[in-house]
């Protein structure tokens, strides 16, 4: 019933019960999960996890926080990782000018390089953009990459529609349930349901009413409920359409 388009089950917060939890969630209606990589290590861990569960997929890539030590050899390794049948995207890649854990020039350099890799391989991308909306959009538009998802989208609804014109989907997660979620709500109001992916970003950003706890994919129900409330349709319809959207983007049956 549910497709979690963005989670991090490689995270150490799942070290004590990772495999049991993934099995439990699948029994309780989570039909698909995409584990989004954040660095070279988590790219490899995602591949290993995807080999354990037929419903579990992964992306490979390096998050803007982690690009300071990135090299061209890493691009070659990511290219080889991408040959695995369970790898469905390049990501999580992008720009983060909020924390600036990596220098901005290096963020841009390796963002562009990973977009080039995605275009070469004809794979979708999972994009991280925080306080870098204009720069991120311009780089993507110039890259020619025309399929992907803007993860945990936080920009204006107008820019969301511009991304859709480029061929992108908009990722909606637990933030949509927060009290200060006006911009996210406006985006969901304006963006067609056929261009929305549901995500948790587990173990982060747990939705209300479980905010502050370790997030997991079963909490997609709260996210779909909120989208349904905004769209004035059923939660079941939201779960169905967002799942179909994710299958289309990631080329899954």
**pLDDT tens sequence across 185-227:** 999 999 999 999 999 999 999 999 999 999 999 999 999 999 9
Look at residue 5 in the predicted model and tell me its pLDDT: 98
pTM, rounded to two decimals: 0.98
3-state SS, residue 183: helix
Q: Can you read off the two tokens belonging to residue 81?
A: 């990782």
Preceding peptide of 180 cis, ω within 30° = no
Q: Say what the pLDDT of residue 92 is.
A: 98
How high does pLDDT run on average in the chain? 98
What residues form DSSP beta bridges with 35? 7, 58
pLDDT above 90: percentage of residues in the chain: 99
pLDDT value of residue 166: 98
- Residue 165, Cβ density class (10 Å: 0-12 exposed, 13-18 middle, ≥19 buried): exposed
CA gap 78, 1 in Å, rounded: 31
> 125 lies in which domain range?
2-250
CB contact burial 3-35 (16+ within 10 A = b; e otherwise): bbbbbbbbbeebeeebeebbeebbeeebbbbbb
How far, in Å, are 109, 126, 127, 199 from residue 68 at the CA level? 10, 19, 18, 27
- For 43, phi then psi, to 5°, come to -60, -45
Whichever domain contains 202, its CATH number is: 3.20.20.140
Mean pLDDT of 14-39: 98
Q: What's the pLDDT score for residue 253?
A: 84
Residue 231 above 90 pLDDT? Answer: yes
Number of separate domains in the chain = 1
For strand 87-96 and strand 125-130, is the pairing parallel, antiparallel, or unpaired? parallel
Looking at the chain, the whole-number percentage of residues with pLDDT higher than 70 is 100
Q: Given this model, what pLDDT does residue 99 score?
A: 95
**Per-residue pLDDT tens digits for 150-190:** 999 999 999 999 999 999 999 999 999 999 999 999 999 99
């Amino acid at each position: 019933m549910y497709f979690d388009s963005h989670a991090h089950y490689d995270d150490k917060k799942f070290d004590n019960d990772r495999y049991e939890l993934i099995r439990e969630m699948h029994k309780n209606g989570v039909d698909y999960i995409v584990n989004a990589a954040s660095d070279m290590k988590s790219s490899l861990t995602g591949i290993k996890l995807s080999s354990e569960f037929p419903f579990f997929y992964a992306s490979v890539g390096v998050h803007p926080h982690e690009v300071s030590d990135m090299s061209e050899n890493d691009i070659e390794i990511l290219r080889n990782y991408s040959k695995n049948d369970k790898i469905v995207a390049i990501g999580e890649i992008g720009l983060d000018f909020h924390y600036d854990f990596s220098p901005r020039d290096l963020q841009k350099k390796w963002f562009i390089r990973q977009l080039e890799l995605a275009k070469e391989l004809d794979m979708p991308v999972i994009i991280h953009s925080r306080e870098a909306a204009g720069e991120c959009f311009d780089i993507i538009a110039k890259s020619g990459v025309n399929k992907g998802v803007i993860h945990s989208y936080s920009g204006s609804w107008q820019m969301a529609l511009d991304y859709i014109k480029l061929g992108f989907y908009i990722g909606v997660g637990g933030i949509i349930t927060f009290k200060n979620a006006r911009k996210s709500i406006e985006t969901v109001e304006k963006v067609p349901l056929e261009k929305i992916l549901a995500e948790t970003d587990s173990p982060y950003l747990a939705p209300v009413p479980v905010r502050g706890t370790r997030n997991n994919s079963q909490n997609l129900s709260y996210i779909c409920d909120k989208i349904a409330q905004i769209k004035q349709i059923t939660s079941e319809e939201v779960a169905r359409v967002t799942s179909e959207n994710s299958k289309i983007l990631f080329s899954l049956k």
